[in-house]
Chain A
Amino acid sequence: MTPLLRGERDPRFDRPWTRLGRLLKFWFGQWRHPRYLAAGIVHIFLFAGFMVLVVHTGLFMALGTSAHPSMPGGLYAAISDYAATIVFICMMALIVRRLLKPARYAVPARYGKAHTADAIFLLALIALLMAADGVFEGSLAASQAALRVPAESLAIFSMPWILARALVSAPLPMLANLYLGAYLVHELAFFFLLCYRPFGIQFHVETSLFTVYFAKLDRGTVKPVRWGVPDDKLDQVKSFGVKTFEDFTWKHMLDFYSCADCGRCSDQCPANAVGRPLSPRFLTTKARDYAFRHYPMFGAAGNGHALVGEIYSEDEIWSCTTCGACEAECPLLVEYIDKIVDLRRGLVDDGKVPQSLQKPLKALESRGNPFGKMEKKKADWIKNNGFQQSCTVRILNGEPAADTLYFVDSITSFDDRIQAIGRATAKILDKAGENFGILGAAEKDSGHDVRRFGEETLFMALREHNTEAIQASGVRRIVTSDPHAFNALKHDYKDVPPVEHISQFMARAVREGHIKLNAVENGNNVYTYHDPCYLGRHNGVYDAPREVLDAVPGLQRVEMARSRDRSFCCGGGGLALFYEPTETERMGVKRVQMAAEAGANVIVTACPFCMVNMEDAIKVAGMEGKMAAIDLAELVEKQMR
């Protein structure tokens, strides 16, 4: 408890009904467990068994102190007999699993050591508990049978039933000793377990109750630098972000204690998959080991050590693309992105920013975009390729003139290839009869990834500038083709009109008949949709883009094995495009291969950064001519009647 009390504040006491509902779904309902089918089912059985046996154990204890010892019978007895049997079998299976480890359990030396011995010890202890229970019940039944007294019948094929059969010919005194011995062993093991649990992985059963209840409710958001400190008072905060363990909020510390080390986060983590020095599982276990080391049971707590340098490396912290795959998978709703962002804030505050990111950050400060391009060229994309002749895009100069703002953002404004997505988007808006305009030179980068890379002060300056420009434009709606800008405007900005991603706009336009689509020219092409992280996982927009694709007559579409909330990040957007990681292969290459495995030859995406990464990956993977990437807006523009 000590570190939790020393943690930073974190208000998590709001919306109790929502939280209770989620507790029922994710904790009691074990909602995310079946995502790993076999392990998930074992866990659900175990969990249910434990729930039953918690009651059973209470009764068992009462029995020892009661004058007229007898356990309740009937259906309850049968259920608890089966529960104990199932738990026993599960324990045996899990012990075997830990002896014959699959590769994904391995702990690379750089991340610390495995806790296999601890796990097996705990599993064995529980198995012992179950066995003692079985012997207790079995010996009672056997002696009852021997004495021919009427007895409660045991659940057929349960462990006590089997043991009762085995013991039926044993002499009575031995049965009596077994009966008492089993009781003693059961209680000793139980109380030992009770005391030992907080030191091992088992404790997650209890801590997760709180972790899940207090879990983050607002996805797509980033926690403020310091809870309770308004933005205009931030200058007075001495230190930004997490530098020492005690800079984490109490909830984030609780996460460390609750993690069951199941490794599902790391299975899903694209950074881990391409050999970057980051694995979310170990981010947590290293912090937990740190806490056990620095807050010992006996002796003084030693706090105040810098985490980066001691347990984390700088590269580890910069390797994350904030895709959120880990958070979407964790059965206990452990948070990662906020912790990564907080650690980055700490690094930025200490000036420890990779050289590859310093230039784009400096350019964002002086020019408002990471490429260092001049503001006056921001709207040049509407002039290129003779676009102006076919479609007029108005630049909103402060006088209310349009209903809808197309927020273009940096990459779509300045990157030669991506400008085409901007032009397609403008054409679609035009075709659908939308009265829209752009901000032109007055628009700066949304700052989405500036914030997620820990440069909060710069982000706030960009947000302030854009908020003023948007308000001055007098628009009532915002549309963007960039999921990063979409997420920023939706979750990071305040006091701006509602925002929609172009895929949502297109889905509605197709549904309402404002846009009609021609059949595909080449019916042999097989399309697959790649969910951009900030459209899908962070904002739940999965169906709109698929609806648009399915509205194209004759379009063949397949799903990749990893889609929707298990989508695999393309390599990351915003500043992630500039970061030079140490990795063995590119995320994009892996993703392109996944598309090929699904039988597709066209990857459709809905994010400018995904486009950059996919097209690069197709070249790196040597799949030019065999695989193509197209943005959903480009596809619709091409098929529009």
Chain B
Amino acid sequence: MEILVCAKRVPDTSENEIELNAAGNDIERGDLVYSVNEADNYAVEEALEIVERTGGTVTVVTVGDDDDEEILRREMAMGAKQAVLLSDEAFEGSDGRGIASILAAFVRKGHYELILTGVQADDGAAQVGGMLAAMLDCPFASLVTSIEVLEGGKLKIGREIEGGNKELYEIDLPCVLSIQTGINEPRYVGMRGIRQVASVPIPTLHKADLGVNGFAGKAAARVTRTDYFTPTAGHGAEMLTGNHDEIIGKLIELLKSKGGLT
């Protein structure tokens, strides 16, 4: 099966202290380190595991600029056969619909049976996967936590639902799935692996190569960010004091009174 995984480079929340910039319209980006969006990494691992079971290839794609190549290399070191960078000045400032339209144009140029995205980007709004499916007129499922390949161009997928329950679906290929973290245990990629793919060429496709429609770019964006702020801390927290037994007693009492324990 030919699988495409859409990935994004994001500031790593565990290795940065996210602060607002002086203008208050973005975060301070001077000292940030970036990595591949966590959910996207799970999607790549899932694609690799499907290919290990049933054959095929994995391609990783991202929309961005030269800096974003680093995550494509990392995913190639993980095992993806190909990686493609979609980059053009005209793409800058795109909203979710714009990004989906760029990806859709790329998908139409290939023969991908399965398209995976992360459930959402750390700095995103969880909208690209669904829009991409709609633009491609493909079936779509979100929050996927298991994938099994069935005979006859179908998948059996599991979805996480409220209360820790899981539901199973059959879905026709080709389709778009957004992958939930925890679906697998992504393999480790070290410096050595990245070095081994350091000289593999990564093709860059521009607007003209793709035939992107008019949704991409700042001018076409219909959703724009207007403010960025840190909410002020509230007063909801209550510290329980005393020794272990007293704290446990108070906690049980509280849980009972609020209906948490019956």
Q: Which A residues lie at the B interface, using CB under 8 A?
A: 235, 240, 348-353, 355, 357-359, 361-363, 365-367, 372-376, 455-458, 461
Q: Is the interface of B mostly helix, strand, loop or mixed?
A: loop
B235 at the interface (CB under 8 A from A): no
The residues of A that contact B31 with a CB separation of less than 8 Å are 374-376
B220 at the interface (CB under 8 A from A): no
Which of B15, B189, B196 is within 8 Å of A366, CB to CB? B15
If A363-B15, A366-B35, A367-B15 touch, does A458 touch B188 (CB 8 Å cutoff)? Answer: no
CB distance from A315 to the nearest CB of B (A): 13
- 29 A-B residue pairings within 8 Å (CB atoms): A348-B188, A348-B190, A351-B78, A351-B187, A352-B188, A357-B188, A359-B14, A361-B190, A362-B12, A362-B15, A363-B14, A365-B190, A366-B15, A366-B35, A367-B15, A367-B33, A372-B12, A372-B14, A372-B15, A372-B16, A374-B16, A374-B17, A375-B31, A455-B190, A455-B191, A456-B192, A457-B192, A458-B190, A458-B191
Residue of A nearest to B192 (CB): A457
How distant is the Cα of A372 from the Cα of B16 in the complex, in angstroms?
7
CB distance from B139 to the nearest CB of A (A): 31
Residue of A nearest to B182 (CB): A355
Are the CB atoms of A351 and B192 closer together than 8 Å? Answer: no
Q: Which has the most chain A C-beta neighbours within 10 Å: B31, B35, B185, B191?
A: B191
Are the CB atoms of A352 and B192 closer together than 8 Å? Answer: no
CB distance from A462 to the nearest CB of B (A): 10
How distant is the Cα of A466 from the Cα of B192 in the complex, in angstroms?
19
Residue of A nearest to B191 (CB): A457
How distant is the Cα of A141 from the Cα of B203 in the complex, in angstroms?
95
Top 4 nearest A-B pairs by Cβ distance? A351-B187, A372-B15, A353-B188, A457-B192
Are the CB atoms of B190 and A352 closer together than 8 Å? Answer: no
How distant is the Cα of A365 from the Cα of B189 in the complex, in angstroms?
11
B195 at the interface (CB under 8 A from A): yes
How distant is the Cα of A365 from the Cα of B185 in the complex, in angstroms?
20
Interface residues as binary, B24-50 with A (CB distance below 8 Å gives 1, 0 otherwise): 000000010101000000000000000
Are the CB atoms of A362 and B185 closer together than 8 Å? Answer: no
Taking A351-B78, A353-B188 as given, write out 14 further A-B residue pairs in contact, using a Cβ cutoff of 8 Å, ordered by the A residue number: A235-B195, A235-B196, A350-B187, A351-B187, A351-B188, A353-B187, A358-B186, A362-B15, A363-B15, A366-B15, A372-B14, A374-B16, A455-B190, A457-B195
Are the CB atoms of A355 and B185 closer together than 8 Å? Answer: yes
The residues of B that contact A240 with a CB separation of less than 8 Å are 192
How distant is the Cα of A355 from the Cα of B193 in the complex, in angstroms?
17
Q: Which has the most chain A C-beta neighbours within 10 Å: B14, B16, B188?
A: B188
Are the CB atoms of A349 and B192 closer together than 8 Å? Answer: yes
Are the CB atoms of B189 and A351 closer together than 8 Å? Answer: yes
Residue of A nearest to B198 (CB): A235
The residues of A that contact B191 with a CB separation of less than 8 Å are 365, 455, 457-458, 461
How distant is the Cα of A355 from the Cα of B14 in the complex, in angstroms?
14
Q: Which has the most chain B C-beta neighbours within 10 Å: A351, A353, A455, A461?
A: A351
The residues of B that contact A358 with a CB separation of less than 8 Å are 186, 188
The residues of A that contact B187 with a CB separation of less than 8 Å are 350-353
CB distance from A365 to the nearest CB of B (A): 6
